[in-house]
Amino acid sequence: MKFVIKHESGSRLRIHACVGRMTLSQADIFEYYLKNTDSVMDVTVYDRTCDVVIFFTGGRDGVIKALSSISFESAEKAVSLPRHSARAVEREFEDRLFFTVALRLAKRFLLPAPLRAVITAVKAVKYAARGVKELLRGRITVPVLDAAAISVSVLRGDFSTASSVMFLLNIGDILDEWTHKKAVNDLAQTMSLGVEKVWKRGGGADILTDVKDIRRDDVIVVRTGGLIPLDGTVAGGEATVNQASLTGESEPVLKKEGGVVYAGTAVDEGELLIRVTSVSGSGRYDRIVRMIEESEKLKSSAEARSAHIADSLVPYSLFGTAAVWLITRNAVKALAVLMVDFSCALKLSMPIAVLSAMKECRQKNITVKGGKALEAAAEAETVVFDKTGTLTEAIPTVKEIYTFGDESGDECLRLAACLEEHFPHSIASAVVGAAKKRGLRHDEHHAKVEYVVAHGIASSVDGVRCVIGSHHFVFEDEGCVIPEDKRELFDSIPGEYSQLYLAVGGRLAAVICIEDPVRPDAAEVIRRLHRAGVVRTVMMTGDSERTAASVAARVGVDEYHSEVLPDDKAEFIRKEHEAGRKVMMIGDGVNDSPALSEADCGIAVSSGAEIAREAADVTINGGGISGAAVLRETANALAERINRNYRVIMSFNFGLITLGVLGIISPPTAALAHNISTLLLSLSSMKKLLK
Residue ending a domain, among 242, 269, 293, is: 293
The yes-or-no verdict on residue 276 having pLDDT over 60 is yes
Same domain, 111 and 146: yes
* 224 domain-assigned: yes
Q: How many domains does the chain have?
A: 5
* 627 domain-assigned: no
Output the domain CATH number for residue 376: 3.40.50.1000
At 318 the pLDDT is 82
Angle, in degrees to the nearest 10, between helices 159-190 and 284-293: 130
Cβ atoms of residues 268 and 593 within 8 Å: yes
Longest dimension (CA), the chain: 104
Q: What angle do CA 680, 686, 691 make, to 5 degrees?
A: 120
pLDDT digits (tens, 9 = 90+) for 9-23: 888 888 888 887 888
Write down the mean pLDDT value for the chain.
81
Same domain, 611 and 657: no
pTM of the model: 0.66
The yes-or-no verdict on residue 576 having pLDDT over 80 is yes
Residue ending a domain, among 51, 81, 111, is: 81
Any idea of the CA torsion for 345, 350, 353, 359, to the nearest 10 degrees? -130
Cβ atoms of residues 206 and 237 within 8 Å: no
The yes-or-no verdict on residue 278 having pLDDT over 60 is yes
> Nearest to residue 618, comparing CAs of 350, 289, 303, 383?
383
* 213 domain-assigned: yes
Q: Quick one: average pLDDT of 296-309?
A: 60
Same domain, 509 and 546: no
Residue ending a domain, among 579, 597, 621, is: 621
Same domain, 559 and 605: yes
Instruction: Quote the percentage of the chain above a pLDDT of 90.
Output: 20
> Nearest to residue 467, comparing CAs of 500, 503, 431, 432?
503
Same domain, 614 and 591: yes
* 35 domain-assigned: yes
Q: How confident is the model at residue 508 (pLDDT cuts 50, 70, 90)?
A: very high
Same domain, 311 and 175: yes
* 631 domain-assigned: no
pLDDT digits (tens, 9 = 90+) for 177-196: 776 677 566 655 555 555 56
* 492 domain-assigned: yes
Same domain, 201 and 171: no
Same domain, 485 and 345: no
Q: Who wins on pLDDT, 219 or 396?
A: 219
Same domain, 29 and 69: yes
Same domain, 414 and 510: yes
Same domain, 159 and 232: no
Q: Which residues lie below 8 Å from residue 615, measured CB to CB, with a gap of 6+?
A: 242, 244, 592, 593, 594, 596, 597, 602, 604
Query: Rounded to an integer, what distance in angstroms lies between the CA atom of residue 371 and that of residue 604?
Result: 17
Q: Who wins on pLDDT, 194 or 74?
A: 74
At 281 the pLDDT is 44
Distances (CA, A) of 580 to 292, 379, 380, 575, 600: 28, 11, 10, 9, 12
The yes-or-no verdict on residue 84 having pLDDT over 80 is no
pLDDT digits (tens, 9 = 90+) for 327-348: 888 777 777 777 776 666 776 7
Q: Quick one: average pLDDT of 150-170?
A: 83
Name the residue type at position 482: I
Output the domain CATH number for residue 75: 3.30.70.100
Output the domain CATH number for residue 275: 2.70.150.10
Angle, in degrees to the nearest 10, between helices 86-110 and 113-136: 130
* 652 domain-assigned: yes
State residue 124 phi and psi, 5-degree precision.
-65, -25
Same domain, 409 and 498: yes
Q: Domain containing 267: what range?
A: 197-293
At 279 the pLDDT is 65
End-to-end CA distance of the chain: give it in Å, rounded: 37
* 690 domain-assigned: no
